[in-house]
A and B are shown apart, each in its own frame.
Chain A
């Protein structure tokens, strides 16, 4: 009996060893499939780009061809959508932050300075990090260990999400990207972000549809829920700001997906010089007589837009 038991143990041990070796050496790269981490949690490691799976803006590079003499045609006109620019309230995105009444005058003041969805008042035009939620996604190399998940953007908006059970530091001082701690709820990573300074904005878009999405206070607090399904991660975000909001602001879910295998992170240094920060140095104020303003030109696509027969006076 003992002999049989010990033989079973030996066989069992041998198989276990083989299985362990198999899983260590022949484990496929996590980015190729949904292979969990050794601790059982989903693995987010990989290079991710914005949008749902299958929506590859990077295909432009793969379709790229040059003429025989080296000529290149590169089109910027598709990069800002096909819809006319929004320059009035009736086309504004419905889900903008629920600012308190005493904050709205400041928000409106900022909105009035926007042209083509941007304004020199935006801290991003001074090369400041985008903060959370604005710079939470983007093109990101995620490097995951059981203790910490690094979200690397290759610029000053990198983030570390501590998953080792620690709380926010008791003496936490506000910073651009704040302090992020994460815990698992099943297969969802729940991230709590605190310590965000007030020198970032909550968002904006170049189509002009989010001109009432701007400031927040240093009481901002964000909860994100990251869930991976196949080659796509969905991030649900709730932003609260007890000083400026009437209630928490739930953003529509955003998605990132694994980049093409030959795609990689290119680091970004934002040069604050006048020559590169055209949004500040050569920005013109919204002018109802401006041809692009009247024709609701979205980014570069002015020639394609039919002039509005009934321009809205502002």
Chain B
């Protein structure tokens, strides 16, 4: 990815401790980090809640019919501490999202890996499987 070579600093996530194991989920029990899918659509909603934020995207499925995708990401507090704010996700913009698919086969659900805006800037959320 060309953006990675532009010298973006590697940001560490947060260690989740044994006790208390609050708020977090188990990525591998829900998502397949070995695969990805890409969707372009209009970002319609940002749900800034715990334990996961969710982005909602209006797109078209393979038959051209309107469909809503949901992409999950980390807890608001974790993102907040890395400098990410709710309005960094621009509702109304057409974006391209790369995501890890759900293991249970749910088609319009993914774990956010990258979101790219029309002006070319990206947010990349690595999950260690690249």
Do A79 and B22 touch across chains, with their CB atoms under 8 A apart? no
Bitwise, B64-75 to A at CB < 8 A (1) or not (0) is 000000101011
Within 8 Å of chain A (Cβ to Cβ): is B7? Answer: yes
| Known contacts A266-B80, A279-B29, A303-B33; is-contact A76 B18 (Cβ 8 Å) | no
CB distance from B78 to the nearest CB of A (A): 8
Most buried by A among B7, B9, B23, B33: B33
Q: Assess the A304–B128 pair: CB atoms within 8 A.
A: yes
Instruction: Please encode chain B, from 104 to 122, with 1 for each CB lying within 8 Å of some chain A CB and 0 for all others.
Output: 1010010000000001111
Binary contact readout A257-269 vs B (1 if CB under 8 angstroms, 0 otherwise): 0000000001011
Which of chain B's residues have a CB closer than 8 A to the CB of A71? Answer: 3, 6, 8, 121-124
Most buried by A among B18, B25, B29, B128: B29
Could you tell me the distance between the alpha carbons of A102 and B118 in the complex, rounded to whole angstroms?
61
7 A–B pairs (Cβ distance < 8 Å), ordered by A: A72-B124, A74-B11, A78-B13, A276-B47, A276-B50, A300-B28, A302-B33
C-alpha gap A66/B84 in the complex (Å): 10
| Minimal Cβ-Cβ distance residue in B for A279 | B25
Residues of A within 8 A of B121 (CB): 67, 69-71
CA distance A135 to B22 in the complex (A): 8
Which A residues fall within an 8 A CB radius of B? 50-51, 57-61, 63-67, 69-81, 85, 93, 115-118, 124, 130, 133-138, 157, 203-207, 209-210, 251, 254, 266, 268-271, 273, 275-279, 282-284, 290-293, 297, 299-304
Give the tally of cross-chain contacts (CB within 8 A): 236
Tell whether, in the assembled complex, residue A63 and residue B13 are in contact, meaning their CB atoms are under 8 Å apart: no
Report yes or no: A79 in contact with B13, Cβ–Cβ below 8 A.
yes
**Most-contacted residue by chain B among A51, A66, A76 (CB, 10 A):** A76
Q: How far is the CB of B37 from chain A (nearest CB, A)?
A: 15
Q: What B residues does A254 contact at CB under 8 A?
A: 19
Chain A residues near B4 (CB, 8 Å)? 73
Question: Which of the residues A75, A79, A116, A205 comes within 8 Å of B10, measured between beta carbons?
Answer: A75
Give chain A nearest CB distance to B100 CB in angstroms. Answer: 9
Q: Is the CB of B126 within 8 A of A75?
A: yes
Q: Which residues of B from 63 to 105 have beta carbons under 8 Å from A?
A: 70, 72, 74-84, 88, 102-104
Contacts of A67 in B (CB 8 A): 3, 6-8, 121
Describe B's contact surface by its main secondary structure: loop
B84 touches A268 (CB 8 A): no
Across the interface, do A72 and B84 meet the contact criterion of CB distance under 8 Å? yes
Check B58 for interface membership: any CB of A closer than 8 A. Answer: no
Q: How far is A277 from B51 in the complex, measured between Cα atoms in Å?
A: 7
Query: Which listed residue (B18, B27, B34, B49) contacts A209, Cβ 8 A?
Result: B18
Q: How far is the CB of A138 from chain B (nearest CB, A)?
A: 5
Tell me the minimal C-beta distance from A216 to chain B in angstroms.
Answer: 14
Q: Are A278 and B128 in contact (CB under 8 A)?
A: no
Contact yes or no, A61 B128, CB < 8 A: no
Closest Cβ of chain B to A162, distance in Å, is 22
In chain B, what residue has the closest Cβ to A137? B20
Which residues of A are found within 8 Å of B75, using beta-carbon distances?
268
B126 touches A279 (CB 8 A): no
